[in-house]
Every structure is written in C-alpha cells, then in structure tokens.
Amino acid sequence: MIDLSSNEAASLVKLATRGAGYPWGVGEEAAYASRWFAEHQVPSLSVFSQLLEWSDHYSLEALTIDLGAKSWVGRSGDMCPLLAGCSISDLASRLDQGQSIVLEKVVFAIVLLPFFHLVSLELQSPITARWADGELKCDAATQGSISTSDSVRDQLQTRHTPRTITIIRDDLISDSLQSWPIAETLRVSVDVQSLNGLKQLAHRTYAPATEQSRLSGAGAGTSDND
Amino acid sequence: MHDNRMSDTPPYAGPKQDDKTLPQSSAHNAPASPAQWRSPADVMRLSRLGSFHQCRLSFMRILTRRMQREKWHLSTQEFAIDDNGVGHALYSMQGPDRTYTLIAFAHDLPDELRSDRVIATAWDATFALFDGVPSTEDVTRLSKNVPVQEAGRVSPTELTLSRANRSVRLWEHVVSELAQGRQPDTELIDSVGYLMRTTAVYGSGKFGASDRQGIASRSEFSAPFQAEMLTVYLIRTFVRDLVQHMAHCRGGDATAKLSPTIARGLGIGNSTGLGMAPFLINHPQLFNNWIVVREEALVRVRNQPSATKQQIECFENVLERSVVSVDNWHSAHAIQAEKIVELKRDIESLRQHTASMNLSDEFPWNRLYEWGAENLCVEAQECLVSLMMEPYGDIIDGLDECMSAPDTGIPRIDGAMSLAQLADLIREHYSWALAIDWDEKESSARAWYVSEEKLEPRLGERHEEPIESYEQPLAPARDIVQLYRVITELNAELLTAEFLMQQPQHRYAVRRLQLCARSPYAEIQDNTISAALVPFDMLRCKLAFFGAIHFDPRSDRWLRICLYANAPYPEELAEADADTWVYPQLPVKP
C-alpha cells in the first residue's frame, strides 16, 4: 500500500475524473468527495478507481440522469453516483420543501455520502436515506456526520447497492445506529493497482510535449544560471 | 490595542460575504468616513494586481513579527558539511508551543546541471521543514528523498519541500573574497541581492508532506503560507553560514567573517514560473480574502481624521527608505524597466507633494490617496497604499487572521436558481467579460495546459498548437460568457440544477459565478487567455502578498524576486526591527 496526503489524493481524483471524461466542474466535486472520504476512513482512491473504470465505458451524455418528478433514472440504466450527488447537492432546497428524492439503481452509492453532508450542512438539518434493507442518517452538525449500521457500511463499499434509495429531510431514525468513524490523520492509503489506474486516467489531461511547448510554453529562453 | 477582527461592525452594504470571519467594510462606522473599499472593477484588473507591493500584511512580515513577539529562537543546530560543500545541516526554531527544523542538504552540483526550471533534476541545496526535531533515522530517511525532490517521497512530519541554486554571479565572488580576508564588493551584492535562489517551495501535502488542514489550527499557521515563509527564512540563515564555511575551507585562518551589515542585506532569491499563476484563479475565496483584508486596511487608514506627528514621521521615514529600495531594483525586462522608471519619477513627486501638504488633519491619508490616484502611475499608487499602512500596525495587523479561507469543503451550487437569475448574476458581475469581443481570435489566443513532461503548467498558442483538448479551467471570463450565451437561448424558468444535468460541462462556470457574486474580489477582471495577457502580473500579485520585492521578469512568464533582504537573522530577532526591515536603512550622512 502507498501512503498519500489527502491533498495529493484529491488532486489525483480531480484529474482522473476529468481524464475519464467528466467536465472540470464535476472533477472539483470528486476532489471534495475524496477529501471527505479521507476524513471518514473511506478508501477514496480505491472507490474512485472502480467508479471511473465503470464510467469510462459510457459517454458523458449516457451518464446523465433524468431528474423525473417521481424518481431519478440514469440514462444508461445504472446511475452514476457522482452526477447524482451533484444534483442532490444542487437541489437541497427541494428536500427542504418536504419533497423526497428517489434514486434508481445507483452504483457505488458510497459516493453519495459526501453530498449528503453538503445538503445537511446547507439545510442545517439531518437528512435520511432509506432503501429496502438499510438506512442511514447524515447530520453535518455531528462528529462523523453519518450514522448507520455496520452491515450498511459494508454494503456501501460494493458496487451494486440498493435498487431504490429514498432521500428525505428527516431526523426520525433509530438511535441504535453507529456513528461513522473519523480518521485520526488525513492520510490516504492506496493499492498500486488503483493508484496506477487513476494515474493513467489523469495522464489523459496532460498534453504531449512538443519542442515549441518545451521552448516557449514555460517561458524559457533567458539564462536561468547566473 | 484595537480589536481588529471587526466581527461586530455593521454589515458592508455591498455583496454578501461568504466567510463570516472576514472583516466587513468599516466605512459605515462613521458617517463622516470619506473612503470605502475600492471598486473590484478597479482593483481586480491585472495591471493593478501586477503593480502590488509588499505591505504590513505580507506573509513574511506577519511571520517575523510573530517570531519576535513570541520570542522564537534558534534552539539546536547541526552543521555537518565537508570541505566540498557536501553534507547536511539542521536549524531548529523553537516557538512557544512547538519547534520546527529546517533540514538542509548541501550538494556539489556541476555548473552544467544548474537550472531554475521545474525540469531540473539536481540542485545546489535541498530542504525540508520538519515538524519538531528530527531523529537520526528521520535525517537518514530524508537524505534519500529530499535531494531528489519530486522524485522522492516525504511524510506527514514534513511541512515543506524546497531547493535552491547558487547565484553564479555572487557565490564565487563572496567565497573567494572572504577566503582572501576581504569583504565582498557591496555594489555587486546590491545588484544581485542574494547568494542562493529557491526554485520551488512545496507545501500543502505535496509529495507526501503534511496537509495544510492538519496544521491550519495552529496559531502560528493561521495566516497563509507561514510554513513556507519559515522555510525560506531558515534557508537564508543556512546559506549565510554555508558561504562562510566554504570560504573558511578555502582560506583557513586568514578568512574574513562576512560583515553582519552585508549579511543583513542579503536575501534569498526566488525564481517563479507559470506554476504559480493558476493559484489565484484556483483559489477564488482565498484570493478574495487577501484582497478584502488589504482593502479594509487601506480604508481604515484613509478614514483616519488626523495623523499624529509620530505617524507622519513613520510614513516619511518608510517613504525615504523606499526610495533606496527602488534605486536597488533592476530589471532588464522592457515592461518592468519602464515601470521602475515611472515609479522612480512618481515617488519623487510623492515626496515633494507630501512635503508641501499638511498631514496632521482633515483626513490626511485620504487626501493623499486621492491625490495619488490622480497624479501617480499605478505602480506608484500601490506603493503609496503600502506606505500609508505602515504607521497603523495597531489597527491593521490583527487583520492577518482573516487572510486564510476556512475549509468548508466545496462551494455548493444553488441549483434552485432559475436560468433568468443566473443570467442576471452574469450581467451584474461579469459585464467586463461580456464586453470582450470573443469572436476576435486574439481574445482566445492562449490556452493553459499541463505538459506531460514533468507535469509543468504551460501557456500555449491555442490556434497554433495541438493543446486545446488538454486545456485547464483557467479562463473564467470565457467560460462564463459561454454559459451566458447558452442559458439566454433556453427557457428562462428552467432550474440551474436541471440545466446542469443536461449540460454538466457548465458546472465549473456556474459554481464560480455564484461564488464570485458573493465575494467581490475573488475574480481577476481580465481575460486570462488573451494574446495580450502578461502572465507575470499574476505571479507578481501573489509574490507581493508573500512580501517579495525587486520583481525582475525574465520573460513574460517567469520572474525573479528577493525575499527577506534586510530581515534580522534568528539570533538578531529579539533586538532588531522585526517589522519594517523590508525597507533598507537610509545611508548615514557624513
């Protein structure tokens, strides 16, 4: 395993997200999610490596979501959690008005958690996500912000997660749930395969060197040894 | 002492601030106050940002004031460097709560390998700032990683990673003169200003170092870039000691000790390239906070109804010392050389005008500022802004705590806004960008990209090089105008969230627009991809906040500066002037 700073991991995630075909603005949100993961002991780079490997098979248009009135549906069938998270965050006010947001077939649902945090922060209220056999509460005002069961935590680490997730502004939830652990340090541990996968995606954002670029791009040409 | 935080003052009538700890404009405190924050349309132009000077709130001066106030001292030292200049040295600065150690590695670098560019792979000296006092094992570990810089890895106990090269013009001269028992030529010293120049000072988690978030709660790091500034401060001390050591190795007992006065005048040079330019665009909230604090400091001074004799003397003193500093500012770059000529001319006008006006009452500083705005070039206007702040440390210095940006994750996009509201925001805050003729090829002549080679940020010619598909998001003006063109063709009632799901490529522009609408000084109000762009204006602005002087552009996209010239060394901190040292002492009259 390789040890990275949270900032290094977030920078890599941002570039890899862009390299995988998402726009820069979504890359900023992915970087935010990576930082949130580092604080919450989620293996950020492993999650993003798998997510971006999955999304790399689709065009950006295919990954977009139909934000229907009753439920949101990914145009490719499965739903991209990154774009879903962005829209949940954008539409925080919808939850404030008592409406729910229903997501169908989200993959890597753990990526939604940093966005739940943003919504809870904005609404200054807990929000709840429920599905057939699990639930979690996000309250940005509490340490760790997420409360859930151990089995849900395990479930969220996998790609295939519940078919239908309903998100509401609601603090009525079982008190028996466990707080999500907070990391003592901000370090990110990553396996070589995930790291290399993300680096390859990030590499797509770098322009191949040309002689013109080498000579003029960074402004050389004047002595720098005097 | 005044309470400088301003947390209980009436709200600024202008745009809403995102960060509650930021000062609100104090102009509304007193009905008779003549001055308010200057307009972003004036301040945020690159021509003005690229004319900023160091001031009381510069990060180096914040650090030296703190170190003196808190009685920081050099607590341990090791200097294990051989006659060839190879080895390591440790310099520990002990503050009230913690100790930080500069670990310096000195190398015997062949001349042909010396380069200031990011693509270099070897340096005369390499450094890390260690959080605490390193063990022998730490030094051994770092000896394998720090000398190779980007190719190595450091750990959370390291706060910065840096390197420096000798000035060929000065190093050998100083070594050989001292070795022969003589002091170096002061004219040559003044013309260069430093024995070594750093070519990068990495912090914030780079190459495995500690994240800023991990140290941001320490009071000594509450202001921006304090770990980096401490690194350079200690590098300067090491370099002074190294040159003396090398002279002694050559000259033995006959070697002269470098005169403390000459040593005091030596700073650390720095070569800064395009890598720094994107910072101001990539950190809009932080940049806003820097400018807000500077504007607030200026307003507080301009709104002083009168000035005491002592305050006037302080101003006149730093004005005279500035003249000396400007006389030592040399640049062969045509643009900067002309600006220096104009500055010299206008600083003389300023002296004459100051001598002729009564500074004791009737809002003297506001009158002086307004005269300057009418009669001085922008370079001299901004120099005047810095000088006017000098007598007022008691009402300005506490603002330094407002210069960081709190870690709030990411600015959330308000997706409930309609496209009509979004378009209104653009018309209100980006009229300057809408006014640019984007159909002109020159308006989008450049593109920022990162080269595959050593991941170096570069600026290329969009219409001549195959770089557009690799473009970095560093052209907010163009991006927001593109957003405007798209949304004004769509249903005005559509929600921003729905629009962004259909066209997620506009998320960057929408987030930026909403943030900049709340933070008036977050955006450079110029076209950053224009054929007319002078990139070093962006570098200079940031470096002025560091406290750099003597900006010397070497092309339109990299420049050299000098840091810490005239600053007291650690052993002098207790007694010396730890605040206005940046202004050279006036020559003693015969």
Rg (CA), chain A: 19
Question: Is this structure's pTM higher than 0.90?
Answer: yes
Instruction: Compare CB distances from A25 to B450, B507, B557 and report the shortest one's residue.
Output: B507
- Residue B473 at interface with chain A, using a CB cutoff of 8 Å: yes
Instruction: Please give the Cα distance from B367 to B360 (Å, whole number).
Output: 11
Q: What band does A8 get if pLDDT is binned at 50, 70 and 90?
A: very high
In the predicted model, residues of chain B with pLDDT beneath 70 are 1-31, 408, 589-590
Q: What band does A156 get if pLDDT is binned at 50, 70 and 90?
A: confident
Q: What is the pLDDT of residue A122?
A: 94
Q: What is the pLDDT of residue B450?
A: 93
Q: In 10 A of CB B96, how many CB atoms?
A: 11
**By three-state DSSP, how is residue B163 classified?**
strand
Residue with tokens 């990673």: B161
Q: pLDDT of B506-531, one tens digit each? A: 999 999 999 999 999 999 999 999 99
Please determine, for residue A111, whether its predicted confidence score (pLDDT) is greater than 80: yes
CB neighbour class for B312 (10 Å; exposed up to 12, middle 13-18, buried from 19)? middle
Contact check, Cβ <8 Å, B554/A222: yes
CB B227 within 8 A of CB B160: yes
- Chain B positions in Cβ-Cβ contact with residue A114 (cut-off 8 Å): 409
- Tell which residue, B570, B586, B584, has the closest CA to residue B68: B570
- Tell which residue, B373, B365, B61, has the closest CA to residue B229: B61
- Chain A positions in Cβ-Cβ contact with residue B556 (cut-off 8 Å): 219
Total beta-carbon pairs less than 8 A apart between chain A and chain B: 190
Contact check, Cβ <8 Å, A83/B501: yes
Q: What is the mean pLDDT of residues A66-83?
A: 92
Instruction: Please give the Cα distance from A50 to A197 (Å, whole number).
Output: 9
Instruction: Please give the Cα distance from B60 to B356 (Å, whole number).
Output: 34
- Residue B505 at interface with chain A, using a CB cutoff of 8 Å: yes
Q: Which residues of B254-286 are buried (b: 16+ CB within 10 A; e: fewer)?
A: ebbebeeebbbbbbbbbbbbbbbbbebbebbbb
- Chain A positions in Cβ-Cβ contact with residue B206 (cut-off 8 Å): 5, 7-8
Q: What band does A91 get if pLDDT is binned at 50, 70 and 90?
A: very high
CB A147 within 8 A of CB A180: yes
CB B457 within 8 A of CB B275: yes
Contact check, Cβ <8 Å, A122/B412: yes
Q: What is the mean pLDDT of residues A53-69?
A: 93
- Residue B489 at interface with chain A, using a CB cutoff of 8 Å: no
Instruction: Please give the backbone phi and psi of residue B141, each rounded to the nearest 5 degrees, phi first.
Output: -60, -45
Instruction: Please give the Cα distance from A146 to A138 (Å, whole number).
Output: 4
- Residue A158 at interface with chain B, using a CB cutoff of 8 Å: no
Q: In 10 A of CB B485, how many CB atoms?
A: 11
> Which secondary structure element, helix H or strand E, spans residue B355, and what is its range?
helix B334-356
Indicate the range of A143-147, A196-200, A208-212, B219-223 predicted with least confidence.
A208-212
Contact check, Cβ <8 Å, B453/A87: no
Q: What is the pLDDT of residue B6?
A: 37
Strand ranges, E, within A139-207: 146-148, 164-169, 178-179, 188-190, 206-207
ipTM value, please give it.
0.95
Q: What is the pLDDT of residue A160?
A: 67
Instruction: Compare CB distances from A219 to B111, B205, B557 and report the shortest one's residue.
Output: B557
Q: What is the mean pLDDT of residues A11-27?
A: 98
What the block records as the tokens of B298 is 């200026």
Instruction: Please give the Cα distance from A122 to B190 (Å, whole number).
Output: 55
- Residue A213 at interface with chain B, using a CB cutoff of 8 Å: yes
**Amino acid occupying residue A83:** L
Instruction: Please give the Cα distance from B115 to B165 (Å, whole number).
Output: 8
Q: What is the pLDDT of residue B62?
A: 98
Q: What is the pLDDT of residue A215?
A: 67
Which of A 1-20 lie inside 8 A of B, CB atoms? 3-8
Instruction: Please give the Cα distance from B459 to A214 (Å, whole number).
Output: 11
Which of B 525-544 lie inside 8 A of A, CB atoms? 535
Q: What is the pLDDT of residue B275?
A: 83
Nearest CA-CA distance, residue A26 and chain B, Å: 7
Instruction: Compare CB distances from A24 to B410, B464, B508 and report the shortest one's residue.
Output: B508
CB B257 within 8 A of CB B227: no
Q: What is the pLDDT of residue B506?
A: 98
Contact check, Cβ <8 Å, A207/B118: no
Q: What band does A175 get if pLDDT is binned at 50, 70 and 90?
A: low
Nearest CA-CA distance, residue A68 and chain B, Å: 10
Q: What is the pLDDT of residue B26?
A: 63
**Amino acid occupying residue B381:** Q
Instruction: Compare CB distances from B451 to A24, A187, A207 and report the shortest one's residue.
Output: A207
Instruction: Compare CB distances from B205 to A7, A29, A64 and report the shortest one's residue.
Output: A7
Q: What is the pLDDT of residue B111?
A: 82
Q: Counting runs of H as helices and runs of E as strands, what totals does chain A give?
A: 10, 11
